[in-house]
Amino acid sequence: MSSKAEKIAKLIEMQKQFMEYEQTHGVEPRDYYAPESGHPLDGYRQQYRDLAMEVLEEAHKTVGSKAFS
C-alpha cells in the first residue's frame, strides 16, 4: 500500500469488518486484546495500529511536524 488514501481506505474497511463481526458474534475483551491463534481478530489490533501510525507519520511529514519528541 503506497498512498495515504489507500491506507485510510484500508483502515475504514477494517473497521467495517470489525463492526460486522462484533454485531454478529459479539466481542469479549480477550478476543480483542489477546485472541487465540487463528481467531478472526488475531493480529487485527496490531495491524490496525501499525497502519494508523503510518498514516499519522505521513501526515506529520506533510506539515513538517513530529508525532513525538
Counted domains in the chain? 1
Q: Please tell me the pTM assigned to this model.
A: 0.83
pLDDT digits (tens, 9 = 90+) for 50-68: 999 999 988 888 888 876 6
Residue 68 covered by a domain: no
Task: Identify whether 69 is part of a domain.
Answer: no
SS (H, E, C) 19-65: HHHHHHHCCCHHHHHCCCCCCCCCCHHHHHHHHHHHHHHHHHHHHCC
Residue 26 belongs to domain spanning: 4-63
Spatial contact of 21 and 27, defined as CB atoms under 8 Å apart: yes
Length of the chain: 69
Q: Confirm whether 16 is domain-assigned.
A: yes
pLDDT digits (tens, 9 = 90+) for 6-60: 999 999 999 999 999 999 999 999 999 999 999 999 999 999 999 999 999 888 8
Rounded CA-CA distance 35/69 in Å is 32
The single-letter DSSP state of residue 27 is -
